Amino acid sequence: MLNHVVQMGRLCADPDLRYTQSGTPVTTFRIAVDRDFVSKDTGERAVDFFTCVAWHGSAEFVSKFFRKGMMVIVSGRLQNREFTDREGINRTVTEIVANNVYFGEKKAKESGAGQFTGLDDEEFPV
């Protein structure tokens, strides 16, 4: 059996680093991934949103170096996780458990607020 997924997209928000009760780091983040085709009706690409989870050293790496708007490449596996919400309703979520997370583009400039604003051409001349 094979369960491997690779997605390239932009971070929807800054990654959220937390620690389990045993002290294991875990980071969750969402990425927006454009579909390969353009809609005939609107002329725009549809976008899919994926929740990703990184553990241990990968969790700390993602939390430290990635910010909202940055292009990332996530390699991992799909996982279904079941839980009971606050109202007692059973829920199932599908998420990407990241084995590796890579930078999807050159180093970014940051605005005063720390958000991604584009590539810094002065640091990376063409």
Strand, coil or helix: 58: helix
pLDDT digits (tens, 9 = 90+) for 23-70: 999 999 999 999 988 877 888 888 999 999 999 999 999 999 999 999
Q: Which listed CATH number (2.40.50.140, 2.60.120.1440, 1.10.10.60, 3.40.309.10) goes with 5-35+45-119?
A: 2.40.50.140
**Amino acid in position 38:** V
Which residue ranges make up each domain of the chain? 5-35+45-119
pLDDT the model gives residue 119: 46
Evaluated on CA atoms 61, 64, 69, 71, the torsion sign reads: negative
Angle of CA points 86, 22, 11, to nearest 5°? 65
In the structure, what pLDDT confidence band is assigned to residue 103 with cuts at 50, 70 and 90? very high
* DSSP track, 20-62: -TT--EEEEEEEEEEEEEE-TTTSSEEEEEEEEEEEHHHHHHH
Provide the token pair at 125. Answer: 């001349």
